[in-house]
Amino acid sequence: MENIDIFGSVFEPALVKEIHQFGELLSFKEGDVIMDYGKYIRMMPMVIKGTLKVLRKEETGKEILLYYLSSNESCSMAYSCRLEAKKSEVKAIAEEDVELIAIPHAKLDEWLCKYPSWKNYIMRSFNLRFLELLKSIESIAFHKLDSRLIAYLKEKQRLSGSSVIRASHYLIADELATSRA
């Protein structure tokens, strides 16, 4: 599990040791569903390599992109659902091939009390996701579609490191919560 050494700059050495000991290294292919609506979340994912997109479905069945997760990031919704033993209200899909470390439920609370860096990591994650959601709401409410599209494409480029964006018009419209018509 040498790939998880990227967390050495974030966590205390003792916590990195426990992540090695109790975490499970998982790999997913592009398009794989990692968390799904209405399912219990069995672990909290910490992304090592690749990108996940996190979506939410409205009552009509239409999905909207909430945020992306990339290296060194984790899903706050997974953490919250896992602690409260609730079913997922989001879906996480591998945007590209992904490696992550699955943190078991039993360690989430323990580490929160035991390691200040874990508490900071979790709180920072909640704050980042909250700010991303505010940015999305602001974008939908106050920005025209052309500027939202440009911001979307720039974010896809930043995450992939490539100027080639592999996405259909339908997917882009869906993730921007608009229609192609």
Contacts of 141 (CB under 8 A, 6+ apart): none
* pTM exceeds 0.85 for this model: no
d(CA 48, CA 25) in angstroms, rounded, equals 9
In angstroms, rounded to a whole number, what is the distance separating the alpha carbons of residues 135 and 62? 20
Spatial separation of the C-alpha atoms in residues 124 and 132, rounded to whole Å: 12
Per-residue pLDDT of the chain (181 residues; tens, 9 = 90+): 555 566 767 899 999 999 999 999 999 999 999 999 999 888 889 999 999 999 888 888 888 888 889 888 888 888 888 778 788 989 999 999 999 999 988 898 899 999 999 999 999 999 988 888 888 777 777 777 777 787 778 877 877 777 777 777 777 777 776 765 4
Report the distance separating Cα 45 and Cα 116, nearest Å: 19
The pLDDT value given to residue 179: 63
- pLDDT score, position 153: 83
Fold of 2-131: Jelly Rolls (2.60.120)
How many CB atoms neighbour CB 87 within 10 A? 12
Domain ranges within the chain, ordered by starting residue: 2-131, 143-181
For residue 26, give every residue at least 6 positions away whose Cβ sits within 8 Å of its Cβ, in sequence order, or none. 45, 99, 100, 101, 102
Which pLDDT belongs to residue 136?
76
Residues 6+ apart with CB under 8 A from 151: 139, 143
Q: Tell me, what's the pLDDT at 2?
A: 52
